[in-house]
Structure 1
Amino acid sequence: MCGISCIVALRDDQRDRKIDGSNSRLETVTEDELDRSLNLIRHRGPDATGKWFSSDKRIALGHVRLSINDLSPAGAQPFHNGPPSTIHAVVNGELYDHDRIRDELTRTTDFAFHSTSDCEIVIALYQRYGLSFLEHLRGEFALCLYDAEAQVFIAARDRYGIKPLFWTMQAGRLLVAAEAKAFLPLGWRPEWDVKSLAEGGWNNDERTVFKGVQKVRPGHYLVCRALGHVEQRTFWDLEYPDKRLKDVRTEEEMIASVRKHLLESVRLHLRADVPVGVYLSGGIDSSAIAGMVTHLIREQGERIGNDKETERVSCFSIAFDEDSGFDESSIASRTADFLGVKYFKKHMNEAELAKRFEDATWHCEHYYPDLNFIGKFALSELPRQHGFKVVLTGEGADEHFSGYQVYLPDYLREPDTSFQSPLFPESLRIEQFERAERDLADYYTSIGAHMSTSSDTLPRRMLNSISTPASMAAFRVDSLFAPWTKREYGNAEPELTIANNVDGRVRSLMADKWHPLHSAQYVWTKGHLANIFLSCLGDRTEMAHSIEARTPFLDHKLTEYVNGLPPSVKMRWVAASDGQTLTESAQKGAFVEKWILREAAKPFITDELYKRRKHPYSAPTTYPENGPLHKLLQHLITKENVEGLGFVDWEKTRDLIHRAFVGKEALAMRFAFSVAQWVVLSQRFGVMKAEAGSAIP
């Protein structure tokens, strides 16, 4: 994993013309500004720095390296073809199965490899396949490539957005970087994108919390031709089966195939020239990864990293106070004992959370109303302390195997005619559907949020009536905003933002071909997975400590298979009577989420985990009066600081801290954390105060 910062000075015929009519490059890139940009993301790559400038100084590719594969100087970036060198690239991430691709390219092309780095295959693949090279990449990546002969600049992001990539236009220059803070030395003056904040654009589409700064979408590439026109295009998207077609596979076949694909993904993710560890929680996802890693090493003789950890796998965990109700470290410890792995855990109390609050916010570059991102930030300190640069994690399993309760109403919205079990009668489906929708709405009401249950809304009509977007939009921060924001930006409709983020081709598939569960998985994966869970609960908190986290569940060869499975093997009704069957008289039972993953992982996990219901990873949600967090938020949420934001109404926020810490109101606590993070971002980034009249007409 690494950090990249790239600058492209765009052509402007009027600006670039001298008085005498000859052409001149008035816009250039200086080495000093690129150095300062890279220094702000040095945490992503503390091992080396690499830079390349075009001969006319209009294009610069910058790279800070975290050495994982090919630790020699030959693995340093940027990479180039040639001689002569006409193609140049910087890559952030890991590309798997690169040995096979390298061998194939060596046989079929005259490309001369200069290293054994996984990332060098980018240049060779582009030289052979042009813009089609992206479909040959397997892994998590963000990259920038410049083809000098074709005058084409490309910035691409992996299929699920595991690696971040941002872009903006400043003073006639296209800026692309792994983190927005890298733009600060390049002429960028941060402003709040108030509309994005109000309607949830930052966590559901390509926008960020900063005006004019956008994300390259997952599975997309940005292309700039002839240093002029810039556009974003798709190279990959999620696909699901036609719900009208019968699935003829047996459950045993599907379970075996899931196990095979997941083992293959884990095997590929073990490759590195440094030690590799595993993040271990009390859930089935990370435990399945740890169990499979142990199996591959002990039973099949696989390498793990650079072979320094061949006898016992090292696992890392976070522990909250036992009386908080959120500590899962005891379960993780029992799993570690079962697997016979080395187990390291970091204890996090309230004081430790408060100590890291501001730094974690700076690294994430957006707010998040729960503090589990700070727990992940602290957890990522632990591997480094024990000599590890790489860890495997369990992100992505819930999205693909249906691990979230918010999916349940959409699973039950229609019968699964492709593979519906006869033990689950239609009458029970309808009954459970109504209960699931009601229970979910009641949950959001209990925490002070609001989930719309009406099926006759524009977003629902656009997305075949699925309710998952309503749950994604239940937490509304715009209720804290100053009155002028509504006049200037109109009514905020976060649920409509989610619906609008789905393109017309996919909306048609949702209407006619996809089961509602798969439609729900699609919008969640494009929204919360890419913009929250893989950001502040993924790359940003991990790379803050120079840790490369790998996500075997998001290997696209695995996910393409899992996405093609029928809904009824992802969520499964199990009767309370005997745990296996449901009869007409046994009308009580429960839905088991991630059923097929449980079955596929069963040989590698404890019976406790196999039977345990999902408990989402979370930090504690309530904290005592006059404690470290209470005092920190009192320091941050002041009249001066809040009014300095410009878009937040002080009268609506002045009692938040009292309501949160004294009144123990869950929603007030989340609002208080959000406002405090806006203040931190404002101060750390120097964000200009938002004011009426600043909206673009």
Structure 2
Amino acid sequence: MCGILAISSPQNCQFDLNPAIQAIHHRGPDDDGVFHSSEGDAHLGQVRLSIIDLSAAGHQPMKDASGRYVMTYNGEVYNFLELKTYLESTYGSIAWKSSSDTEVILEGFAREGYSFLSKLNGIFALAIYDQEAKELHVLRDPIGIKPLYFSAQGEAVFFSSEVKGLLAFKHVKRTVRKQSLVEQLAFMYVPEPYTMYEEFMKVQPGIYHRYAEGKLVDSKPLFTHLQSPMNQSSEEVLTEQLHATLEKAVRRQLIADVPISLFLSGGLDSSSIAFEAVKAKANIQSAYTISFSKEDNSLDGQSSDLHYASLMAKKLGLSLHIIQAESEFLSLLPTLLDFMEDGISDPAAINTFLICQSARKDGVKVMLSGQGADEYLAGYRRYQAEKMILDMSTLTKKTLTTLGSLLPSTISGKFSTTYRRFKKIAKAAGQASQERIASYFMWGGGEQIKSLFVDHEVNKPGQDLVNFLNQHAHLDTFSSMLLADQQFDLLALNLSYTDKMSMAVGLEVRVPFLDFEMVQLMNSVPRELMLKNGQQKYILKKAMEPYLPKEVIYREKAGFALPIRSWFSKRSEIMDHYFDPHRLETQGVFRPQQVQHLLNEQFSGKEDHSYLLFSMLCQQIWLDKQGI
């Protein structure tokens, strides 16, 4: 796992890559290197986190045996040993210089070109320069697990694993994108392909790009087979197939020459990964979880992870490292926001950082995560909510909407969480289909968020999501929701913050549920086997019933979050500073009176704006760092 840089430019250009190398060095503290083409039209850089083949033979940028191709690469290809065997059986003996996956990708590309890249199964972003054809080939994995940013300016195009790498080139123009500020408050992230800057974008996953002297020459979609449904099977056969494929994916992702550990929330997904890893007799002794007080937990309405994580750790013989969440964690934001690029303001990012930081201090370099199952197998509550609304008569929807509008916004006590969810469903029941689905992904009303900004020319947030849903209106509701989950929350949020928070401390996170074989299989699961008998992820629960305790499988769904509602129920020093009316007035981005209105409603208990305010706090700290 690493960080990469690449530039395609006209000939005879000179670029100093060292500032950018230093800017992303946390991603690869073990080694670094640069390459400049003889014609001055290509410039590659890499910082290395050594996971497979820790020797100097794995140094990058790496050249193939012929010397024609040079590659900088970030990621892990889990089927590289299979591909190595394939190359030797097809092309004869190859004089390998290392035992790295990097060399296998490079030698395969040298023999088969971009078509070889479609054989990869892993997490990656790469750039390969052809010294003969004077072309740069760029690809990001089809799920978007590994990030890659680019900016086309002047006659050159710049690529980097992080925005910081692009910012390190001082002559590269950067302008804060106002619409991104709006979207961040609605989603807790900026939807792809956009970033916080007008001039920077994210490379589209799974699309191969070819550049020559700073110009895009060709683009082709790869990995289209992942969307091709496999032959339908009976529920029983599919259940066995899902377990067997997950078992294989976990085994494949255990390959490493360094210590491996686990995220373990005690939920179905992380427990499934933990079980399969231990069953595979991997050298794993520990797992990590996060816990918070009963008082904080009661207000946020999440089921406690600690009991279930402890249960699974004991069952599997693992040492469980527990991190206790405290409201003082908010003081970490100024430091973490240097890494939470793209307007990420999901509290789960803090969790991920704290777990990764603790694991890295313990000598761990690789962790397995349960991410991905929710977005491919309908694991979120919104799927239940949508099914409930679709089953309602028109009269019931109208009655529910009217009732919801008459009731107070919040109540206190042990039923506050259930009440909050009821209010959300009541409001959604009165909305048109696409608008309703979009509302499930957002943390505030569109008009409400727009009204916070001084500039009324900004658009209401969520229009890209509505457009996406309209483009897929020919699909059934659940299918369009699944695609939206994968394109928005998984790609732009969950995978993004996981990469940034783990790589901030030089640690790699792997996601077996997003193994390419798993993805193709999950894309083939009938919708009625995702949500059945009132159970979300029904097919996965059935697949793991023989192996996990039922109380783990059928526990209430809990988010990987911090108790933000509890922490934002009262004023704090950091909020008073960043939401100070005079400061906001001077800044000129937000309307101070609207912000104060939100704060008054929040602290009086009239409305729950906790997640919106948390995003605003993150945004204010980020703007402060921009000198705005």
For the aligned pair, the TM-score class normalised by the smaller chain equals 0.7 to 0.9
Match of 1:239 in 2: 227
Show CA shifts across 1:86-107 (max 9, x none).
2111111110011111122123
C-alpha distance after superposition, 1:37-78 (max 9, x if no partner): 111111111111111111133321111110100000001111
Asked if 1 retains the 8 angstrom alpha-carbon contact of 2:261 and 2:285, the reply is yes
Pair 1:292-2:276 in alignment: yes
Aligned to 1:198: 182
Q: Partner of 1:115 in structure 2?
A: 98
What is residue 239 of structure 2 aligned with on the other side? 255
1:497 aligns with 2:497: no
Contact 2:155/2:214, CA 8 A, preserved across alignment: no
Q: Is the 8 A contact 1:61 1:90 kept in 2?
A: yes
Match 1:533 to one of 479, 494, 505: 494
Are the equivalent residues in 1 in contact too, given 2:8–2:212 (CA < 8 A)? no
User: How far apart, CA to CA, are the structure 2 residues paired with 1:624 and 1:430?
Assistant: 36
Which residue of structure 2 aligns with residue 455 of structure 1?
Answer: 432
Written as runs of structure 1 = structure 2, the 5 A alignment for 1:182-581 is: 182-186=165-169, 187-199=171-183, 203-229=190-216, 233-237=220-224, 239=227, 241=229, 249-297=233-281, 304=282, 309=283, 313-325=285-297, 326=302, 327-351=304-328, 353-408=329-384, 443=420, 446=423, 451=428, 453-455=430-432, 467-473=436-442, 475-476=444-445, 479=449, 485-487=455-457, 489=458, 491-494=459-462, 496-501=463-468, 507=472, 511=474, 514-536=475-497, 538-573=498-533
Residues 592 and 613, structure 1, Cα contact 8 Å, conserved in 2: no
**TM-aligned CA deviation for residue 290 of structure 1:** 0.6
The answer to whether residue 606 in structure 2 is matched with residue 637 in structure 1 is no
**Pairwise CA distance, 1:681:** 1.8
Distance 1:434 1:45 in 2: 57
Partner residue, 2:408: none
Contact 1:450 1:474 survives alignment (8 Å): no
- Aligned partner of 2:557 in structure 1 is 614
Name the CA shift for 1:517/1:113 in 2 (closer, same or farther; >3 Å): same
Q: Residues of 1 paired with 2:38 and 2:606: CA distance?
A: 60
Alignment partner, residue 158 of structure 1 = 141
**Do the aligned partners of 1:639 and 1:650 also contact (CA within 8 Å) in 2?**
yes
Residue 565 (structure 1) shift:
1.3
Aligned twin of 1:4 = 4
Q: Would the alpha carbon gap of residues 181 and 288 (structure 1) be closer, same or farther in structure 2, given more than 3 Å must change?
A: same
The 1:329–1:503 alpha-carbon spacing in structure 2 relative to 1, beyond 3 Å, is: same
Q: Is the 8 A contact 1:437 1:453 kept in 2?
A: no
State the 1:675 CA deviation.
2.2
Find the counterpart in structure 2 of residue 87 from structure 1: 69
User: Within 5 A, what are the aligned runs for 1:617-696?
Assistant: 617-623=560-566, 630-639=572-581, 641-643=583-585, 646-660=588-602, 662-664=603-605, 667-684=608-625, 686=626, 689=628
- Partners of 2:505 and 2:31 lie apart in 1 by 15
**Partner Cα distance (1:222, 1:641) in 2:** 45
The alpha-carbon deviation at position 164 of structure 1 amounts to 0.8
Checking the alignment, whether the CA contact within 8 Å between 2:296 and 2:566 is kept in structure 1 is no
Q: 5+ unaligned residues in a row in structure 2: which ranges?
A: 405-418
| CA pair 378-483 structure 1, distance change in 2 beyond 3 A | closer
Question: 1:134 is matched with which residue: 113, 117, 137?
Answer: 117
Using the alignment, how far apart are the partners of 1:78 and 1:354 within structure 2? 39
**Match of residue 426 from structure 1:** none
Residues in 1 aligned to 2:425 and 2:228: alpha-carbon distance in whole angstroms: 35
Is the 1:281–1:287 contact (alpha carbons within 8 Å) kept by the matching residues of 2? Answer: yes
One-letter code aligned to 1:551: V
- For residue 410 of structure 2, what is the aligned residue in structure 1? none
What letter matches 1:164 in structure 2? P
Evaluate the alpha carbon distance shift between residue 449 and residue 64 of structure 1 in structure 2; reply closer, same or farther with a 3 A threshold. farther
Return the letter of the residue paired with 2:593.
E
- Once the 2 structures are TM-superposed, how far is the Cα of residue 129 of structure 1 from its aligned partner? 2.3
Match of 1:168, SS?
strand
Query: C-alpha deviations, 1:372-409, integer Å up to 9, x for none?
Result: 22122111112112211001000001011210121235
Q: Letter of the aligned partner of 1:347 in structure 2?
A: Q
1:56 correspondence with 2:25: no
- Alpha-carbon distance change, 135 to 379 in structure 1, aligned in 2, over 3 angstroms: same
Whole-angstrom CA distance in 1 between matches of 2:359 and 2:491: 24
Listed one character per residue, the Cα deviations across residues 593-650 of structure 1 (whole Å, up to 9, x for unaligned) are 11111111123322211221322222102245897x8111222233465356543222
Kindly report the root-mean-square deviation, in angstroms, between the aligned alpha carbons of the 2 structures. 3.2
Given the alignment of the two structures, is residue 596 of structure 1 paired with residue 539 of structure 2, yes or no? yes
Q: Relative to 1, partners in 2 of residues 1:269 and 1:624: Cα closer, same or farther, differing over 3 Å? A: closer
Q: CA deviation at 1:503?
A: 9.7
Bigger shift: 51-60 or 431-440?
431-440
Counterpart amino acid of 2:508? Answer: E
1:672 Cα offset (Å): 2.4
Q: Is the 8 A contact 1:8 1:174 kept in 2?
A: yes
In 2: Cα distance, 1:230 partner to 1:451 partner: 46
CA distance in 1, matches of 2:223, 2:294: 44
Does the 8 Å contact 1:152/1:227 carry over to 2?
no
Q: What is the Cα deviation at residue 482 of structure 1?
A: 6.1
> Is contact 1:190–1:210 with CA below 8 Å preserved after alignment?
yes
Task: Please give the secondary structure, in 1, of the residue aligned with 2:168.
Answer: helix
Determine which of 14, 24, 44 is the counterpart of 1:28: 14
* Residues 91-110 of structure 1: pairs in structure 2 closer than 5 A: 91-109=73-91
- Matches of 1:55 and 1:670, distance apart in 2: 52
Closer/same/farther in 2, CA of residues 451 and 59 from structure 1, 3 Å limit = farther
Long gaps (5+) in structure 1: 12-24, 298-303, 415-428, 461-466, 574-590, 690-697
Matches within 5 A, 1:11-22: none
Per the alignment, residue 411 of structure 2 pairs with none
The total of aligned residue pairs comes to 601
Q: Give the drift of 1:449.
A: 12
Q: Provide the secondary structure at the position in 2 that maps to 1:529.
A: helix
Matched residues in 1 for 2:196 and 2:87: separation?
A: 42
Partner of 1:587: none
3-state SS of 1:120 partner: helix
Query: Which residue does 1:586 correspond to in 2?
Result: none
Distance 1:100 1:438 in 2: 56
Distance 1:624 1:376, change over 3 A: closer
What is the percent sequence identity of the aligned residues? 26
Q: Which moved more, 1:641-650 or 1:436-445?
A: 436-445
Q: 1:79 Cα shift?
A: 1.4
Counterpart CA distance in 2 for 1:396 and 1:433 is 37
- Scaled by the length of structure 2, what TM-score is found? 0.87
Paired letter, 1:380: C
Q: Give the 3 Å change call, closer, same or farther, for CA 449–29 of structure 1 in structure 2.
A: farther
Cα 1:131–1:645 shift into 2, 3 Å: farther
